[in-house]
Amino acid sequence: MRRGTLYLLTSLLILQFAHIASAAEDSISLTFLGTGAPRPSLDRYGPSILVEAGSQRLLVDAGPGMRERLFQTGGFELLTDINLILLTHLHFDHTISVPGLWLSGWLFGRKSPMTVYGPEGTANMMNNFEAAYAWDIEYRETVGVHQEGSDLIAYDIEPGVFYEKDGLKITAFNVEHMPIDMNTGDLLGMKGSTLGFRIDYNGRSVVFSGDTRSTEFSNIIEHAMDADVLIHEVQMPALGNSPEAQLANVSLSVHSTPAQVAAIFERTQPRLGVYSHIIPPELTSEQLLNATDYDGPLLVAEDLMTLTIGDEIVVGIAGGSGTNIFTEADVVDQLQD
């Protein structure tokens, strides 16, 4: 057994078997709603992570199945309580559930607008979502659904601190996910950007790599040097020479192998390294850990896994809280910021 794996199993107590409704005053709570990527999987839904810090809640990315996992985690109470989404980039597997949460949360009681931050092009994408569902919104308002909360507000952001509220600070940084020439490594000149995020709260911190190929020049290194948790994507090459394997391996130029991620973990030495956005989704924890030459604490995330980042990092499983029958929930007309 790898020393890093043994350290993880003996140092992180798996104590938490129900969703934490709100993070402790000085901790950050994470719920992995989806740990997969573009390929469909019944075990790993599309990438999305719920972040809770004090009374504040937000999502990092909104992949396929996010709304359902969120509902599974906290029922209508959680579904209607989130009005902030951060997007690392604009691929469909990171954005497709934005309309589902925006409109479902509003339809079932949220009175505050949905706000989305992301890279260049985010505001345009959200404007298109609004245009696509304008008839839907008008229809529901006409038959009596409240108007408050149906707005979708979006901001294109640049690297740097873009959000500070009640002790929560969020910093964006560029990551290496734009298309390159596989022979030279040169960028191919496509417009746009891809981001990672660092979230700080009351002395606790978590870094999200976003999608990236992570080289020795990665901005992740600077931003994760003193982080409690570093969540990094990973892709293992497909074996063989079938057309499917060749197509699958096209994305190796914009994603990170276990060896590349190990180098990032080695440089940054987080209290805990975590794999998420796992390609292919059928990879097991054992396969990924055995392929990663890193002796620090390392964990492979699963859907509905939780982390509470405090003096200790506590691992748990979400689900079983909240109300799943709308007429039995107390979510309409509640006071919201």
Q: Is 93 a catalytic residue?
A: yes
Amino acid of residue 1: M
What are residue 196's phi and psi, to 5 degrees?
-115, 165
Q: How far apart (Å, rounded) are the C-alpha atoms in residues 62 and 96?
A: 6
First-residue to last-residue Cα distance in the chain: 48
Residue type, 29: S
> Phi and psi (nearest 5°) for 72?
-60, -35
Nearest residue to 187 via CA among 195, 196, 175: 175
Q: Which two tokens stand for residue 329?
A: 């929930």
Q: Which is it for the CA torsion 125, 127, 130, 131, positive or negative? A: negative
d(Cα 90, Cα 180) in Å, to the nearest integer? 17
> What is the C-alpha separation between 89 and 82, in angstroms, rounded?
20
CA distance 162 to 169: 8
Please name every residue paired with 316 in a beta bridge, in sequence order, or none if there are none. 16, 306
The DSSP output letter for 181 is -
Residue type (1 letter), 303: D
Q: Of 26, 43, 61, 93, which is the active-site residue?
A: 93
- Residues 265 and 263: their CA atoms lie apart, in Å, by 5
Residues marked active site are found at 93
